[in-house]
């Protein structure tokens, strides 16, 4: 696995994203619209809004983040995949490039969703570094899962439907880990177990991705 190859592939993918804006100009506005509709649906009950805010924000991030698996990137084109294969780029390198690209897009989407959620649902940050660390781990896990799903549905006719169907159910432990942190801190417990849950899910996903990459990329 070569760091230079990963960096080159990620750069090319992100350059394509800045041109097409599939995630930031396509998915992000819908995510914001979904948050507005969710906030509207519970009327002007601020107490209830505060109660459901973190969960609603997490769910929107998960659902719309999963959409990035359905995005048609550079690594989804037959020409680039063939070029990678004949140039000797290892399958693990291609998959890692997908993970890093997806993680970058998810962090950007998070940067849009979090402030909007805080404003609309009147949230006060609880959990501090625990919440931040678990969120980062959850985003890495979600990026790995999304990259795996994107590879599974690459060049298929059902990518837009099937990719989120694969990502959302398997990412529920990550969502749970994040939204349980404030409640655990509020009741005076240490949220270490939730942080470890996110780390464990990441470990399982990364191990699966590295082990199964050759079959996913059709090299074996």
Partner 1 sequence: MTRYRSTDLVALALLGAGFVAILLAPTDGLQGVLQRLMYAHVPAAWLAYLAFALTLIASIGWLRTRHDRWDHLAVGAVEVGVFFTGLALVLGSVWGKPVWGVWWTWDARLVTTALLFLVYSGYLALRRGIDDPRVRADRAAVLGIVAFVQVPIVHFSVVWWRTLHQPPTVLRPGDPTMDHTMLAVLLLNVVAYSAVFVTLLRRRMDLARGERALEQGRLAPDAPVAGDAVVAPLPEGGERG
Report the interface residues with partner 1, using CB under 8 A. Answer: 148, 151-153, 156-159, 161-162, 165-166, 168-170, 172, 204, 208, 212, 215-216, 218, 220
| DSSP symbol at 141 | H
Q: How far is the CB of 211 from partner 1 (least distance, A)?
A: 9
Q: Which is nearer to partner 1, 85 or 108 (CB)?
A: 85
Question: In the bound complex, what is the minimum distance in angstroms from residue 154's beta carbon to partner 1?
Answer: 9
Burial tier of 174 (Cβ tally within 10 Å: 0-12, 13-18, 19+) = buried
Nearer to partner 1, 24 or 206 (CB): 206
Tokens of 10: 């990620």
Give residues with Cβ within 8 angstroms of 120, minimum separation 6. 35, 36, 39, 49, 53
**What does residue 139 show for φ and ψ, rounded to 5 degrees?**
-70, -40
DSSP character at residue 71: S
Considering the complex, what minimum distance in angstroms separates the CB of residue 8 from partner 1? 26
CB of 158 to partner 1, least distance (A): 3
For the bound state, the minimum distance from the C-beta of residue 166 to partner 1, rounded and expressed in Å, comes to: 5
Q: How many CB atoms lie within 10 A of CB 187?
A: 7
18 vs 211, beta carbon nearer partner 1: 211
Q: Smaller CB distance to partner 1: residue 57 or 91?
A: 91
Q: Which is nearer to partner 1, 16 or 166 (CB)?
A: 166
| Closer to partner 1 by Cβ: residue 23 or 148 | 148
Question: What SS3 state is found at 55?
Answer: helix
For residues 110 and 135, the answer to whether their CB atoms sit within 8 Å is yes
Distance CA 124, CA 176 (A): 19
To partner 1, the closest distance from the beta carbon of 136 in angstroms equals 22
Q: Which of 16, 48, 21, 54 is nearest to 35 (CA)?
A: 54
């Amino acid at each position: 696995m070569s760091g230079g190859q990963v960096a080159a592939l990620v750069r090319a993918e992100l350059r394509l994203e800045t041109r097409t804006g599939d995630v930031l100009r396509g998915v992000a506005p819908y995510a914001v619209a979904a948050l507005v509709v969710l906030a509207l649906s519970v009327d002007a009950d601020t107490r209830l809004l505060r109660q459901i805010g973190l969960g609603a924000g997490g769910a929107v991030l998960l659902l719309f983040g999963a959409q990035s698996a359905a995005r048609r990137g550079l690594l989804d084109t037959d020409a680039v995949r063939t070029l990678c294969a004949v140039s000797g780029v290892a399958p693990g390198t291609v998959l890692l490039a997908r993970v890093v690209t997806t993680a970058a897009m998810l962090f950007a989407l998070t940067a849009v969703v979090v402030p909007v959620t805080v404003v609309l649902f009147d949230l006060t940050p609880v959990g501090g570094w625990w919440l931040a660390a678990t969120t980062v781990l959850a985003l890495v896990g979600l990026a790995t899962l999304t990259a795996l799903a994107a590879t599974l549905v690459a060049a298929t006719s059902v990518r837009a439907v099937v990719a989120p169907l694969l990502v959302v159910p398997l990412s529920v432990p990550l969502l749970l880990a994040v939204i349980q942190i404030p409640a655990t801190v509020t009741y005076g417990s240490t949220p270490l177990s939730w942080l470890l849950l996110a780390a464990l899910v990441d470990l399982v996903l990364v191990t699966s991705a590295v082990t199964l990459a050759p079959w996913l990329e059709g090299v074996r």
